[in-house]
């Protein structure tokens, strides 16, 4: 009886914990080279957000923002500006680690 109490509730949680540890150890992704280069040229504060414009000419820094909402607003403003000029570009909202949180295409 004691083995059943251990087997059914504890073992699945232990297995899930091991899977999560494995994913966090081996599932890390590196930011693309262009984004990494911009982060090396312009360091960003912790818990801030960055907006980049990505088009045929390359990636261009559009600003750093304290909240994600402000960064998303800037990305959509950039999209409107690009559409009014008839240009195609992607606007990326990134966190302080260089991970893409949102992408807006124009």
Residue 58: band (very low, low, confident or very high) from pLDDT cuts 50, 70, 90: confident
User: Quick check: 88 and 106 in contact, CB under 8 A?
Assistant: yes
Q: How far apart are CA 36 and CA 1, in angstroms?
A: 55
Residue 106: band (very low, low, confident or very high) from pLDDT cuts 50, 70, 90: confident
Q: 6 pLDDT exceeds 80?
A: no
Q: How far apart are CA 56 and CA 106, in angstroms?
A: 13
Amino acid 53: pLDDT:
93
Do strands 58-65 and 90-94 pair parallel, antiparallel, or not at all (unpaired)? Answer: unpaired
Q: 7 pLDDT exceeds 90?
A: no
């Amino acid at each position: 009886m004691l083995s059943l109490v251990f087997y059914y509730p504890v073992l699945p949680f232990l297995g899930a914990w091991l899977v999560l540890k494995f994913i966090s150890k081996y599932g890390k992704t590196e930011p693309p080279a262009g984004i990494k280069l911009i982060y090396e040229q312009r360091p960003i504060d912790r818990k801030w957000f960055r907006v980049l414009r990505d088009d045929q000419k390359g990636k261009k820094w559009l600003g750093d923002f304290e909240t994600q909402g402000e960064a998303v607003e800037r990305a959509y403003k950039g999209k409107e500006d690009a559409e009014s000029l008839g240009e195609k570009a992607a606007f990326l909202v990134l966190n302080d680690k260089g991970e893409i949180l949102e992408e807006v295409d124009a």
